[in-house]
Amino acid sequence: MIEVNHVSKEFVSPKKYPGLKGAIKGLLSNEKVTKVAVDDISFKINDGEIVGYIGSNGAGKSTTIKMMTGILNPTKGECLVNGVNPSKKRMDNAKNIGVVFGQRTQLWWDLPLSESFTILKEIYDVSDEEYKERMSFLNDVLGLAEFFDRPVRTLSLGQRMRADLGASLIHNPKVLYLDEPTIGLDLVVKDKIRDAIKEINERYNTTVILTTHDIGDIEELCSRIIIIDQGKKIYDGTLDKLKRTYGTCKKVSMAVKHIDRIESIDWSVITGKADSVVLEKDDEGKKVTLNFDNNDIEVSDIIHAAMEVTMVKDIEIIETELADIVKEIYNHGL
């Protein structure tokens, strides 16, 4: 179990002034600015959960991950990973965790990938038998054999990410931290990485905490998400609840014979409100899209009303995209 208790992180850095004169002034003045990157965050994560830690750029995601992994010490509060304070007992903690930072590699650049793995096997004291079992599993889910003998610097970004993920799992850690694991990858590789994460979680009950900007990662992997904004936690719950709470807006798109007849429907008769159904037309004037809140009117009422006035040839119901919900939360908070 991971416990994060009222954790904050402040960065103090020299105050900067613009220009060369400013740089000198900054050097001499000794003035400091304090940035609160993480602001009093608490949560608990149970074994075997996959949690998406999301937020816009600069929200404090990486800083939180760094505190959970013990790379950074919190200014206030405490993290406990299976009862161990990661920044105080870094070695104990290291045995239990795997970490991947999407933007940089933990592998030895000039060595063949296979040698990085051999070194990590020694560092983590993995027995030959375990190593064999582990490598065969990792090879299955990540396809490492394809490029196992090549120097890391010659790998493509996708191959490098698969290699990094594999390397972080060589000692079968209980917790896996992934900071932007799919950043910059094409769809095929993304899918591979996601499948691998799912499989590792199912097979070994590995707890996974991942930060991502990729809505696909969240939808495919995370049953729970924590959203942070300017260092503060603003949501913690299931994806379904987030969608149910914030995703009541729907669209019905229809190809109809007489658009003008749809345009003249008075929806307020049904909903009791003005502007409760907002209409958009496509350029050719053949399709009409109706936007509404599911709390005001049911999809079936929309379709029924349309069919009463004209012939409906095709219907498509569009739920709000998760991306839109998340954007909404970023913009307005909760």
Ligand X SMILES: Nc1ncnc2c1ncn2[C@@H]1O[C@H](COP(=O)(O)OP(=O)(O)O)[C@@H](O)[C@H]1O
Contacts with ligand X, residue ranges (CB under 6 A): 11, 13, 35, 37, 55, 57-63
CB of 120 to Mg ion, least distance (A): 24
159 binds, among Mg ion, ligand X, none (CB under 5 to 8 A by kind): none
**8, 62, 69, 168: which one binds Mg ion (CB under 5 A):** 62
Q: Does the CA dihedral 65-156-138-194 come out positive or negative?
A: positive
- Whether residue 295 contacts residue 248, with contact meaning beta carbons closer than 8 Å, is answered with yes
Name the residue type at position 8.
Answer: S
Helix (H, G, I), strand (E, B) or coil at 45: strand
Least distance (Å) between residue 58 CB and ligand X: 4
Backbone angles phi, psi at 167, to 5 degrees: -65, -35
Of residues 126 and 210, the one with the C-beta less far from Mg ion: 210
* CA gap 127, 104 in Å, rounded: 28
Measured from the Cβ of residue 176, the count of other Cβ atoms closer than 10 Å reads: 23
| Interface with Mg ion, residue 320, by CB under 5 A | no
* Residue 58 interacting entry, from Mg ion, ligand X, none, C-beta within 5 to 8 Å by type: ligand X
Q: Tell me the closest approach of the beta carbon of residue 146 to Mg ion, in angstroms.
A: 29
Q: CB atoms < 10 A from the CB of 259, how many?
A: 18
Nearer Cβ to Mg ion (62/93): 62
Q: Please, which residues bridge with residue 314 across strands? A: 255
How many chain residues touch Mg ion (CB under 5 A)? Answer: 2
Contact between 243 and 323 (Cβ < 8 Å): no
**Considering only 53-61, 152-160, 242-250, 281-289, which stretch makes contact with Mg ion by CB under 5 A?**
53-61
Alpha helices in 60-204 (DSSP H): 61-69, 90-96, 113-123, 128-142, 157-168, 187-204
Direct distance between the N- and C-terminal alpha carbons of the chain, in angstroms, rounded to an integer: 27
197 or 228: whose CB is closer to Mg ion? 228
Q: Look at the block and give the residue holding tokens 């694991």.
A: 181
* Minimum gap (Å) between residue 212 Cβ and Mg ion: 10
Residue 55, contacted partner among Mg ion, ligand X, none, CB below 5-8 A by kind = ligand X
**Residue with smaller CB distance to Mg ion, 56 or 139:** 56
Nearer to Mg ion, 60 or 247 (CB): 60
Partner whose binding site includes residue 87, from ligand X, Mg ion, none (CB under 5 to 8 Å by kind): none
**Residue 86 binds which one of ligand X, Mg ion, none, with CB within 5 to 8 A depending on kind?**
none
Question: Which residue number, 103 or 268, has a Cβ lying nearer to Mg ion?
Answer: 103
Q: How far is the CB of 77 from ligand X (least distance, A)?
A: 15
Of 61 and 134, the one with the shorter C-beta distance to ligand X is 61
Choices 58-66, 141-149, 187-195, 294-302; region in contact with Mg ion by CB under 5 A: 58-66
Which runs of E-coded beta strand occur in 154-311?
175-179, 207-211, 224-229, 232-238, 249-256, 277-281, 287-293
